[in-house]
Structure 1
Amino acid sequence: MRFAIMILLGSTVSGAVNLLAAEAHAGSFTGDFEFRWLNEPTNQHRIMRSLGENSFKDDDGKVWLVPKGTKIDGASIPPVLWTFAGSPFTGNYRRASVVHDFYCDTDTEFRSAIHKMFRDAMAADGISGWELASKYAAVSVFGSGCGKPDNLLGALFSGTIEGFAPTDELKANLQQLSEGTDLGTVADRTETVTAIAQVQKPQTFMALAEFRRVPSESNFQELQNAIQSEQPSDTELDSLILLTGATVPEGSAPLPIP
């Protein structure tokens, strides 16, 4: 099962919390979210099975259904992350993580949609401000094994983008990166893209790229600090997440695969 959402969910964020204050989320859960621990000798990890049907209705009114009997585990998280991630089955984001885990393990929904649902679900579970933004951002750029891959270039140059300029020069540069030519280091790529696209929240963009390259505790702290300092809006953060995926495409740097 893909449980990418566990990374760093045990972290807390201090300081003023006004990010997303004007961008409230209003999703809701249905179901008891009751599970039974299983003992399966062929699996080294703990596994739980849902005892009933559960669901989450997101901000747009879409219902994300988790069937009765769904198995949930934490096998997708590299052991090194568990030292600062904590248990994937605790915390006030538990219901959000269950729904996210189920859909990450399917190919019915696009990756970005699953992560946005997780953001809305965390908000419905009481997470807000810097904690919500930083965990959502970290989950969104972590690994490459959740749901259906997005058409990143298509989304960047045909969707609603804020925080940088989606110019023809940027498109050509990102297309070159997607083809695996003249990649250079991640730091060099982010510096070049920042200049070409006139990225307005450069610290957040660079921190996203570094966390995607190496999802370590120190890189997550840098991401938290950048988001707290630059205060990107929901749309800006979504745009930077897309830009990060296109700047550090799969196969261009060692990435964790849930």
Structure 2
Amino acid sequence: MSTGHRGYWLNDPVMHLLPGTRDVELPENLGYVDRRGVKHITPRLTRSDGLTAPAWSWGLIGSPLTPAYRRPAMQHDYHVVTRLIPSALAHQLLRESLEEAREGRLWRLRVAAFDRLVRRFGPRW
């Protein structure tokens, strides 16, 4: 099902913090349907250490554990590690899902700034 204008998350799993680390792990698959109606699945047991958001950028968007950012960060980290889709698409999905995480002009400006940082300094494959 495509909304035509917005992507949407299929679920919001509670992520497990792994003892002795800042890493989190997915207890179940995480599903996102993008604006074009394409489903993207981040599989259960995927681990993330916040690669998507280096600590210096947390003031802009938030840490990978911030509720509005948790799912986009996990999805993007999965793509960075697996490289199953092109980096440009992974970064596009990150921006799209962040834009939809909250409403408001300030949030959109912060997402746009973060997107520029990811595209300029983020990983490419």
Could you state the TM-score of these two structures normalised by the residue count of structure 1?
0.40
Superposed CA deviations along residues 165-197 of structure 1, whole A, max 9, x for unmatched, are xxxxxxxxxxxxxxxxxxxxxxxxxxxxxxxxx
Cα RMSD after superposing both structures: 2.5
| Counterpart position of 1:102 | 78
- Of 109, 124, 131, the residue aligned with 2:110 is 131
Structure 1: unaligned runs, 5 residues or longer: 1-23, 150-258
**Bigger radius of gyration, 1 or 2?**
1
Could you state the TM-score of these two structures normalised by the residue count of structure 2?
0.78
Amino acid at match of 1:113: L
Structure with the bigger RCO (C-alpha within 8 Å, sep 6+) is: 1
Question: Judging changes above 3 Å, is the alpha-carbon distance between structure 1 residues 82 and 120 closer, same or farther for their aligned structure 2 residues?
Answer: closer
List, as ranges, runs of 4+ consecutive aligned residues in structure 1 with deviation greater than 6 Å.
Answer: none
Q: Distance in 2 between matches of 1:132 and 1:76?
A: 13
Aligned residues: 118
Q: CA deviation at 1:97?
A: 1.3
More strand by share: 2
Structure 2: unaligned runs, 5 residues or longer: none
Question: Judging changes above 3 Å, is the alpha-carbon distance between structure 1 residues 38 and 137 closer, same or farther for their aligned structure 2 residues?
Answer: same
Q: CA deviation at 1:111?
A: 0.8
The alignment partner of 2:68 has SS state of coil
Identity %: 24
- Of 141, 145, 156, the residue aligned with 2:120 is 141
Amino acid at match of 1:101: D
Indicate conservation of the 8 Å contact 1:25/1:124, yes or no: no
Superposed CA deviations along residues 122-171 of structure 1, whole A, max 9, x for unmatched, are 1221255322322222211123x35xx3xxxxxxxxxxxxxxxxxxxxxx
Question: Judging changes above 3 Å, is the alpha-carbon distance between structure 1 residues 47 and 56 closer, same or farther for their aligned structure 2 residues?
Answer: same
- Of 35, 39, 43, the residue aligned with 2:15 is 35
